Structure 1
């Protein structure tokens, strides 16, 4: 797999203006500015632990709430990863990770299946972390999975602290995604499906 796996998306709606560039073969360098501090922290962790170079600038209607910015960032990032993957020849396709953060433990499993689906089993003991509604984490991952054309299972297996629960989920997603998009040295040039297409 010698081609550059880099893609950019610029998504503009009446509610948001979002520019995303992703390099699947990066070193985890991130430049993130969504206007939502805790969300920036989570996306930086996604880049670092997924070994993705990630550049995101999002301008949204934060005076309304954070929903549109978070969801549309998920859409744009999913689209960028889909574009960077191309026809998915030579990738591992599947990825999984269990990641702890102190008392919290998250499990994420991903399949670059071309069939978007999310199973979300994460409970937060409080409605807000930082200034961010905890319900928005599901909105982000749903948008990301749908636009990324992937099956994504996110499960919180332990945790009491909302910050730790969210961060363990993002880090587990990062590690699972890193595994799934990696070149498979035993399947170079092969689409990892009996169908011949993903």
Structure 2
């Protein structure tokens, strides 16, 4: 069973995460930041990764620590659930539209963290959420998830739609990359013999 549970505790946040890579996209997300919850729910639903995320953070300061630490915990849990990454497809890509916005995500579960972020927002905030925190989320996710992640918004005008299309594209790419390759279920997908 490709599942993991972990807790990340700092002086700024307390995050508890559980993931099931063989799930159906069921989620229970409570970070104290409404828009972040909404985006993580999209990540779960469209990746088919069951995800429980509970966070108590210093949101009286701002949403930075909650956003970053939540993503660090989710990435670490995904990596733990992947184990030695034997049998996975490893690569995934998706192009997702949301109304006028179109975004692409490409992932390599290479165990070599790297983020390429080509997304611009015309607004600094969506509600109370700082749009610059989306990059922080995906940077943290790729770091502890051991993934190379490229996210690019091709076009769009509505900031909510741009952000959501990025999360949905990442979810679909992750779903593809995490799936077991029936033709090579017993092998690590690398000529190195390990990831």
The TM-score bracket by the shorter chain reads over 0.9
How is 1:116-131 mapped onto 2 (pairs within 5 angstroms)? 116-131=113-128
Residues of 2 paired with 1:45 and 1:143: CA distance?
Answer: 17
Residues of 1 paired with 2:35 and 2:104: CA distance?
Answer: 21
2:12 to 7, 10, 15: 15
Residues of 2 paired with 1:78 and 1:11: CA distance?
Answer: 12
Residues of 2 paired with 1:189 and 1:111: CA distance?
Answer: 19
Give me the TM-score of the superposition, normalised by structure 2. 0.99
1:165 to 156, 159, 162: 162
Task: Report whether the alignment pairs 1:92 with 2:89.
Answer: yes
Task: Report whether the alignment pairs 1:144 with 2:145.
Answer: no
Residues of 2 paired with 1:79 and 1:90: CA distance?
Answer: 19
Residues of 1 paired with 2:15 and 2:112: CA distance?
Answer: 24
Task: Report whether the alignment pairs 1:185 with 2:182.
Answer: yes
Runs of 4+ in 1 over 2 A off after TM superposition: none
Residues of 2 paired with 1:60 and 1:136: CA distance?
Answer: 15
Match of 2:27 in 1: 30
Displacement of 1:130 after TM fit? 2.0
Give me the TM-score of the superposition, normalised by structure 1. 0.98
Residues of 2 paired with 1:65 and 1:127: CA distance?
Answer: 14
Task: Report whether the alignment pairs 1:48 with 2:45.
Answer: yes
Describe the SS at the equivalent of 1:32.
Answer: strand
Displacement of 1:186 after TM fit? 0.8
Alignment RMSD: 0.4
Residues of 2 paired with 1:106 and 1:130: CA distance?
Answer: 21
Question: How many pairs were matched up?
Answer: 195
Residues of 1 paired with 2:15 and 2:50: CA distance?
Answer: 17
Residues of 1 paired with 2:96 and 2:176: CA distance?
Answer: 14
Describe the superposition over 1:69-103 as per-residue Cα deviations: whole angstroms up to 9, x where unpaired: 00001100000000000000000000000000000
